[in-house]
Structure 1
Amino acid sequence: MELTEPQRKEIGQHFVLGFHGTEISEEALSLIRTYYVGNIIIMRRNVSSIDQLQKLILQLQSAAKASGHDQPLMIGIDQENGLVSAFSSTHTKTAGTQFPGAMALAATGSLETAQSITRATAQELAMCGINWAYSPVADVNSNPLNPVIGVRSFGDDPIKVGHFARAVSDALTESGVAPCAKHFPGHGDTSVDSHHGLPVIDKTLVELEANELVPFRTLVDGKEPVASVMTAHIAMPKAFGNDIPASMSSSSNIRLLREKLCYAGIIVTDCLEMGAIVDNYGTPKGALESLIAGTDIAMICHTYSRQVDSITATYEAVLDGRLDFAQLEISGRRIRQFKRRFARNWEAVLSKKELPSQALLEKHARLSKDAYLRAITLLSDPKKTLPLPINSSILLLTPTIQSLNPAVDDQGVLKTKDGVLRNTAGPSYLAMASVASAYCQLNHVVYSKDIIINEESIRDVSAVIFVTRNANQSDWQIKVLQKLIETLPHDTKVVVLASCGPYDLQASNVIRQKVAYLASYEFTKPALEAAVGVIFGDHRAQGTLPVQLSDDNVRSASS
């Protein structure tokens, strides 16, 4: 017995798959033509320019129509802004505008700013043919040691996180781009990265209700529920009674999200090639089990063989009755409604779209710059160190680049094809040094745990700008900073910039008494440039801290 063509068409709609290259590949064509895959995710590797991306998406949609698809493709992208910005320009490509991410936006304190940034983002995405953004992040970052969420979250207050996530969701929807709230039921209180292992959140359902679920409830309630929700590869044994990842759990998908939160929109998994799934189940089983557990769309971003194996495993499960095809058809009706709203029709996706004009991109750049400036937060400055004097001798120390997690890595070509680190400064820190050099006589040094600081090299320095990057998870940075302070002449000014999470000095009270302490919330080029403007007095630090730090002495000094 074999599946009918309509059945294979139906199954194809329940996957969102990625491919490699900046041109349509034979593998991508195979997925669309042979397996009727109805949804494609665009990765950073698929983007080299706005014009190129627009042409690529037009080719994808044309291939779908020519292959007999009933509706256009949903074209999704990880565009949270900030550190997760697959569409944004980098030092190697000119594409979309780099806008602030979640925690930076929350630091502005302005829901209006979050919405205006999101509308601008959606406008650029839509002009390229993207109709689905995997945003907003609705995770409450209650664990400062969280290796994968961190500044991708709007903060640690579940009510405020809900308000900002709702603002982003509404702005995307109004702009014709489908939002996707993630990572349900909440990835904020983990110390394990699900890209590498299976995190366990040891909370009861009552505890989840009080924290993790608050933003998601805000997003699914009301007149305009968020159009889609992405599920996390996290285990919650106390809440669900087993160690099955939420993405593969009917307790999470059906009993909690569908029944308890009354959600009727699209449920999509996070990528099923992450370590939490691959190492414990394998991608094909993960995909199948997620569909059985009530998922509408299974995401597989990278490997063609795993994508095909997952689809064929679904074929087999339908044929032998493990997966009820009637259940898929009910889910399929939700997908068709989703597509009618956001992919619309063939005329809409195949018509020639205008590229963003230079005037529009310049307008968006100004909007972004203003938001970044308003996000910079002065956490403390007990010695009134800021602003630093112009035309003085300044030592800038930035950390050697280390991998944070696969969601935010690849902010530049850091390694050769042989895996050798080739640019230890990182392009954003080099851009920061370039901007800072206009204010002072700058010496830029990339530091590692093995750096040797001698008195001779710093004797004539007026001030030091010491940049950290998640130093609360890499304490060698703090050890280098401590050694530096001990070696410096006592009247040397020291500024510490936390260029990712704002938690870096929360356990270092002695250091905080000696330095000015700033947070930029991300190490993107415009964030670091905004921080330089504050450090040298061109702008006032206006941001407020979106998280509570463990020591009450660390608070927003600019509020």
Structure 2
Amino acid sequence: MRLAGINWAYSPVADVNSNPKNPVIGVRSFGDDPDEVAKYASAVSRGLTRGEVASCAKHFPGHGDTYVDSHLALPVINKTENELMETELVPFHTLVKSGVPTIMTGHMALPLVTGDSTPCSLSKITTDLLREKMGYGGVVVTDCLEMNAVAAPYTPQRGAVMALQAGADIVMICHTMQMQMGAIEETYVAIENGSLSLESLRQSGERIAALKLAYAGASWADVFRPLQEQVLVDLLTRNARLSTAAYAASTTLIRGPLPVINDNGGPVLVMTPVMESLNRAVDDNMPILMNAAQAAGPHYLAFAQSVALRANSRHLVYTPLPMHGQGQLPDEFSGALGAASAIIFVTRNADRSGWQVDYLRRLLHEKRGNTPIIILASCGPYDVVGAPDIQEPILASFEYTASALEAAAGVIFGEHEAMGRLPVSL
């Protein structure tokens, strides 16, 4: 990142994913154990800062125990400050003590702490809890104020002023220039009418200047250093090896053993779900390739190719069954089942998209003989937790990128073992 001119990263995620129904944090968290999250988040922060990139712990004071996506609405977490100290704040305490240079505040309400439903990013929790009680002296930045948790009740422009009044140093408006300009204009009005302290802005400016000096240098020449091409080539080589090893080490067998797969009796059937919105944090980066009424994401196409390089295979994209999940499989799929030597059934957050589980049940009912089937949970690991009748082997990749799915293919075909461990309780 530093070679590319990046000197600030909004990482690590320090949220404790204590709620399995969380629709927005999920696999971005290091797990549901506060101490484990603290350990890994601190390691990421150290790695970034040692590489001269400012880290940013998010989403203070914790976005893990919610079933509402703050991109869409305001999550309300009914916990006291003492309860937060036991779970959500554990990683942040560790990161503050280690000197994390920046912290991002999140858009969730804590009415038992603040006394109302104001999002934490706009409330005095920034000053009262983070700065005064926890002793944090670094830069505080808000999450994007265009998210509906703020935009719907306040507008991003008004939210920007409220965040600055609450003690934030930097307010983030990611997408819309008009809103960015409006926020600047409303900030000037707030200064002029005395509702926003000019002195507090000066203090924020000092903290920001110190951050820039530490991670960007004293001039643009420090930022735009001459590109060292051989250093870049060596780094890319080392990072490629590290990436392959990391994905292999994180692929996890939730339930086994895995059957031995060969294509002697017919093609290996790879079934991936039609693409649908996951959440607004990642949807913008998820291009969808259309094929008639079906949509296969490029990552699943890459996985199908990974399987094809190892065995005779066929890739089908499955869609919700008719009759509220009680209908029959399409003829094309029924015919493919009869010819398949093995089935790899890929799910993606099926605990929230229950139609995938309905489809799997129908497939298990219609498949013939002892054709082995492996379930690959390609995002969260909770996909069939609510389906005790489904007992097939389950592998988790925790990520539906081409690299993660390639590592999963290596496990499925016996090239290496699944060495990961579950970071959450199922």
Is 1:445 matched up with 2:316?
A: yes
Checking the alignment, whether the CA contact within 8 Å between 2:263 and 2:342 is kept in structure 1 is no
> Which of residues 294, 301, 306 in structure 1 aligns to 2:174?
301
Q: Quick one: structure 1 residues 369 and 306, their matched pair in 2 at CA, closer, same or farther if it must change by over 3 Å? A: same
Question: 2:403 corresponds to which residue?
Answer: 526
Is 1:138 matched up with 2:9?
A: no
Question: 1:436 corresponds to which residue?
Answer: 307
Question: 2:353 corresponds to which residue?
Answer: 474
Question: 2:326 corresponds to which residue?
Answer: none
Within 5 Å, give how 1:302-451 maps onto structure 2.
302-346=175-219, 347-355=221-229, 357-381=232-256, 384-389=257-262, 391=264, 392-414=266-288, 424-450=295-321
In the alignment, the residues of structure 1 paired with residue 195 and residue 335 of structure 2 have an alpha-carbon distance, to the nearest angstrom, of 72
Give secondary structure in 1 for the equivalent of 2:284. coil
Q: Give the Å deviation of 1:459.
A: 1.4
CA RMSD of aligned residues (A): 1.7
Is 1:218 matched up with 2:94?
A: yes
Q: Give the Å deviation of 1:450.
A: 3.0
Question: 2:122 corresponds to which residue?
Answer: 248
In the alignment, the residues of structure 2 paired with residue 253 and residue 412 of structure 1 have an alpha-carbon distance, to the nearest angstrom, of 33
Is 1:462 matched up with 2:341?
A: yes
Q: Quick one: structure 1 residues 445 and 283, their matched pair in 2 at CA, closer, same or farther if it must change by over 3 Å? A: same
Q: Give the Å deviation of 1:325.
A: 0.2
Is 1:258 matched up with 2:131?
A: yes
Percent identity, aligned pairs only, is 48
In the alignment, the residues of structure 1 paired with residue 157 and residue 248 of structure 2 have an alpha-carbon distance, to the nearest angstrom, of 45
Checking the alignment, whether the CA contact within 8 Å between 1:189 and 1:201 is kept in structure 2 is yes
Checking the alignment, whether the CA contact within 8 Å between 2:294 and 2:317 is kept in structure 1 is no
Q: Give the Å deviation of 1:147.
A: 0.9
Letter in 2 for 1:526: S
Q: Give the Å deviation of 1:412.
A: 4.1
Question: 1:121 corresponds to which residue?
Answer: none
Q: Give the Å deviation of 1:415.
A: 6.8
Which deviations, in whole Å up to 9, do the C-alpha atoms of 1:131-187 show, x marking residues without a partner? Answer: 100000000011111111000000000000000000000111111100000000000
Q: Give the Å deviation of 1:457.
A: 3.3
Which deviations, in whole Å up to 9, do the C-alpha atoms of 1:210-246 show, x marking residues without a partner? Answer: 100011011001xx41000000011011122110000
> Which of residues 201, 204, 212 in structure 1 aligns to 2:77?
201
Give secondary structure in 1 for the equivalent of 2:242. helix
> Which of residues 272, 275, 282 in structure 1 aligns to 2:145?
272
Structure 1 runs (4+) deviating above 2 angstroms are 350-360, 384-387, 389-393, 410-413, 420-423, 450-457
| Unmatched 5+ stretches in structure 2 | 323-328
Q: Quick one: structure 1 residues 281 and 422, their matched pair in 2 at CA, closer, same or farther if it must change by over 3 Å? A: farther
Structure number with greater CO (CA < 8 Å, separation at least 6) is 1
Q: Quick one: structure 1 residues 517 and 415, their matched pair in 2 at CA, closer, same or farther if it must change by over 3 Å? A: closer
In the alignment, the residues of structure 2 paired with residue 200 and residue 423 of structure 1 have an alpha-carbon distance, to the nearest angstrom, of 36
| Unmatched 5+ stretches in structure 1 | 1-124, 550-559
> Which of residues 406, 411, 414 in structure 2 aligns to 1:537?
414
Q: Quick one: structure 1 residues 329 and 385, their matched pair in 2 at CA, closer, same or farther if it must change by over 3 Å? A: closer
Could you tell me the TM-score, scaled by structure 1's length?
0.72
Could you tell me the TM-score, scaled by structure 2's length?
0.94
